[in-house]
Amino acid sequence: MRGAGLARSRPPLDVEVIAVPKALQGLRRTVRRYLDAPCADVQLCVTELVGNVIRHVGEGVCVRLRVGRTDGGRIRIEVTDPEAGALPVPVPATADDETGRGLALIDAVTVRWGVEQGVEKTVWCELAQSE
């Protein structure tokens, strides 16, 4: 993975998928099988990151999901989409808002997260290995 050295024991999960709401359930299941353990926080991050692509870049774009374990014992999730300029921006959500909490959730359950820009954009986050 780009920002961190991966543990050499197992190659990262690396899948491309068309970003549509129906794909989210399959991605959560794929991640759970790859990690072979309960992984609610990892699944939440995958759902939020791919969901942000659907909402802010558009349905039907191709995204790349990578999940792997780093040398430091963390689980790293990366979601890459073709819109380098559509950056994630945390926004404060009021009690009555039905959207706008995704990045706050990611910030709450991860050790760190960020964005890498190039021709494409990759939003990544890292979680402690055990939930």
pLDDT digits (tens, 9 = 90+) for 3-25: 444 444 679 999 999 999 999 99
In a domain, 104, yes or no: yes
End-to-end CA distance of the chain: 21
Dihedral of the alpha carbons of 27, 82, 118, 28, in degrees to the nearest 10: -10
pLDDT (mean) for 41-67:
95
Position with higher pLDDT, 15 vs 73? 15
Do the Cβ atoms of 79 and 86 come closer than 8 Å? no
Q: Specify the amino acid at residue 33.
A: R
Q: Quick check: helix, strand or coil at residue 18? A: strand
In a domain, 5, yes or no: no
What does the pLDDT read at residue 4? 44
Contacts of 25 (CB under 8 A, 6+ apart): none
Q: Specify the amino acid at residue 71.
A: D
pLDDT one-digit tens code per residue, 80-102: 999 998 888 777 776 776 666 77
What does the pLDDT read at residue 102? 79
* 16, burial (CB in 10 Å: exposed 0-12, middle 13-18, buried 19+): exposed
What does the pLDDT read at residue 100? 65
Question: Model's pTM, two decimal places?
Answer: 0.87
Q: What is the DSSP letter of 97?
A: -
In a domain, 32, yes or no: yes
In a domain, 113, yes or no: yes
Instruction: Give me the number of domains the chain comprises.
Output: 1
In a domain, 88, yes or no: yes
What does the pLDDT read at residue 5? 44
What does the pLDDT read at residue 91? 75
Q: Report the CATH number that the domain containing residue 31 is assigned in CATH.
A: 3.30.565.10
In a domain, 66, yes or no: yes
pLDDT (mean) for 34-52:
94
Domain that holds residue 120: 13-128
Residue 40 has pLDDT above 80, yes or no: yes
